[in-house]
Structure 1
Amino acid sequence: MARKRNRVRDLNPVAPTSFGEDVKRVRQARGLLQKHLGTATGYSEGYVSKVEKGTITPSMKFAKGCDVAFGTGDLFAEQLRRLMDVDHPDWFAPFVELEKAASEICDYSTNLIFGGVQTREYARALLRSGQPLDTPEQTAAKVDLRMERRKLHESDRPPLLWLVLDEASLRRRVGGDAVMRDQLRHLTAMAEYPAVTVQVLPFSAGAPPASSPFTLLDFPEAMAQPPVLYSEGQGIGRVIDSAERVKDARNRYDRLRADALSPGQSLDLIRSVMGERSP
C-alpha cells in the first residue's frame, strides 16, 4: 500500500513538466508568444512561463483555455486529468469513470459531505488538511477536478442522486463557519433539483445500519453494466461488482433511508445547523 501512495505522489513533480512541454510545443507551432497565450487563457505571461517550465501545476481553467486557443478540442484538459491524476488516484479513477455513466447514485456519507456536491472552498479545506505537502497550485488543480464531478449533477441530464448524510457531516466544522454555511446553503439548493434527494440520519436515530461511507451506482440498461458498490477507507478504495455484496449494501442503504429524517425534515435540520454558523 505504501508503494502505491509513493507512486501517486511521485507523479506530481513530473506531470506539470510534461504538460508544460506540450503547451510550449503547440504554442510555438501556432506562432504564439507566451503573452498571447496568457491573454487568450486569462493568465499572465509569467504564469504561462511557469507552466511551460513545469514549476507550477496548471489549473483546469488554463488547460481548457489552451484547448480553445489552440483549437485542440479537449486535448489539454484530458491530458491534465490523466497526467496529474491529482484527485483521482489509481484506486479512485475507475469509480469516477463509472460515476459519469451512472443513471442513479446512492451515497451514504458519515463525516464529510459527498464529493459531488462540495463547494470549492469546502473542497479546498479538505484537500489542504489531507494533503498538507501540496503547493497552492497543486491544491487548486485538485479542487478544479473535484468541481468537474460537481458539474455532473448540475447538467441538463443529471443522474438521479440520493444522499443520506449522517448528522456529523453537517456539524463537522470544515474550513470554518463561513465555509460550512456556504456548503450547507449549496446543499439546500441542490436538494431543490428534481433529480436530487437529500436525507439526514440524525444522532437521535442511534446506531446506524452502516458504520462506513459507501456509494451504489446503477446504470442505463443499454450499458449492460451491473450495479456496483464503491467502498473507501484511508488511502484506498474499491469498486465491487459482486452481486452479493451489492445486494447487502442496498439493504443497508434502504435501512439508512428508513431511519433518516424525511427530505423535508432533513432540509429543516440543515437550515437549522446553517443558522448556527451565522455570525
Structure 2
Amino acid sequence: MAGPKDLDPSSSPRALIGAELRHARERKGLSQSELGEPLFVSGSFIGQLEAGTRRLHLEYAAQIDEILDTNGFFERNCKALAKSKYPDHFAEAAEAEAIATAIREYATLLIPGLLQTRAYAEAVFRAYKPTAPKAEIDPLVAARLERAHLLDDPTTPLLWAILDEAAIRREVGSGAVMGEALQHVAKLTREHRIIVQVLPFDAGAHASMTGALKLMEFEDAPSLSFVEGPDMGKLLDDPATVARHTLTFDLLQAAAHSPQDSLALLESVAQDYEHGAQHP
C-alpha cells in the first residue's frame, strides 16, 4: 500500500496532518491515549493534533514516525509546517484561529488583528519596528489582513470582541487612520457579522487587568485560550485554565457597555477623529 503523500503547507496543513495522524494511529490499532503515553502527553492532546487545533512539533514528530512506522512522514511535514508567515509566538494561535467556530477576544490597547484596516496595521507594525525597511513591514501587514478573510463567511466563526476604551481612545497612526479603523469595526457590527462591546474607563478594576485574552472554540475539539505579551504568546488547553479564562471573559461582558451602546460610542469616537476633535 502506498504511504501518505507529503503535504502542501499552503492548504489547511494542520487539518491534513491531523487526518493523516488519525489514519496512521488507527491503522496501528492504537487509541489516542496509547499513542500519547510514550510521548508523555494526554490522549486529549493527541485528539487536538488530529483535529488540527494544535500544531505538531518536531520533538513529537520523529517519535510518532517511529511508533507508527510512517517512514519519516510526520518529521518531514513538521519541518514544512514550521515555515509560517506569522511570528513564532503567534503562529500556532493563528492556525487554530483559522478553524475555530467561535472566537472571543478581550483587547486592551489595540483593535484586534482580525478587525484592523491596512493603515492601522501598518501603523502598529511601524511602531513595533521603527527602523525596519518597507519590505519587512509589508509582508507582516499582508499576513494580518489575510487573517481577516475568516470574516468573509457570513456566519462562521462567531467573533465577539470586547475592546477596552483605551483601544479606541489611543490614536494609532493619525486621526484619519483611527476614524477609518473604528468605522470599519462599526460597519462589521452593523452588518451583524461581529459582536463588539466596549469596556469603559469608568468600569474601574475588572477581571482581566493583567492583559489581553483570546478564547477559541472548535467543532470537534476542546476549547483553547491564548495569552500574549511582547514577543511571546502561549496557547493553553488545560481545562481548568480555559474555564477560568472563560469566566474572566464573562465578567468582562458584564462590566462592558451593551453592544448597542458600544456601537454608538464607536461611531461617535470615529466621527471625532474624522473631524479632528479626538484627543486621547
Task: Kindly indicate whether the alpha-carbon contact (under 8 Å) linking 1:103 and 1:218 is maintained by their aligned counterparts in 2.
Answer: yes
Query: Please, which of 244, 248, 258 is the counterpart of residue 254 of structure 2?
Result: 258
- Give the Å deviation of 1:135: 1.1
Q: Tell me the equivalent position of 1:193.
A: 191
CA distance in 2, matches of 1:149, 1:121: 15
Q: Tell me the equivalent position of 1:175.
A: 173
Normalised TM-score (structure 1)? 0.67
CA distance in 1, matches of 2:229, 2:160: 21
Any unmatched runs of 5+ in structure 1?
Answer: 1-80
Q: Tell me the equivalent position of 2:270.
A: 274
Render the CA deviation track for 1:164-188: whole Å, top value 9, x for unaligned. Answer: 0000000010001000000000010
Task: Kindly indicate whether the alpha-carbon contact (under 8 Å) linking 1:229 and 1:239 is maintained by their aligned counterparts in 2.
Answer: yes
* Over 4 Å off, 4+ runs: none
SS in structure 2 at match of 1:207: coil
Render the CA deviation track for 1:25-82: whole Å, top value 9, x for unaligned. Answer: xxxxxxxxxxxxxxxxxxxxxxxxxxxxxxxxxxxxxxxxxxxxxxxxxxxxxxxx97
CA distance in 2, matches of 1:157, 1:169: 26
CA distance in 2, matches of 1:236, 1:129: 17
Residue 134 of structure 1 pairs with residue 132 of structure 2: yes
CA distance in 2, matches of 1:278, 1:117: 19
SS in structure 1 at match of 2:227: strand
CA distance in 1, matches of 2:147, 2:191: 16
RMSD: 1.7
Any unmatched runs of 5+ in structure 2?
Answer: 1-80, 276-280
Range with bigger deviation, 113-122 or 201-210: 201-210
SS in structure 1 at match of 2:89: coil
% identity of equivalent residues? 37
Q: Tell me the equivalent position of 2:234.
A: 238
Q: Tell me the equivalent position of 1:99.
A: 97
Task: Kindly indicate whether the alpha-carbon contact (under 8 Å) linking 1:159 and 1:195 is maintained by their aligned counterparts in 2.
Answer: no
- Give the Å deviation of 1:156: 4.4
Work out the number of aligned pairs and report it.
195
Normalised TM-score (structure 2)? 0.67
Residue 217 of structure 1 pairs with residue 213 of structure 2: no
CA distance in 2, matches of 1:194, 1:219: 21
CA distance in 1, matches of 2:190, 2:96: 25
CA distance in 2, matches of 1:253, 1:181: 27
Q: Tell me the equivalent position of 1:117.
A: 115
Query: Please, which of 129, 148, 153 is the counterpart of residue 150 of structure 1?
Result: 148
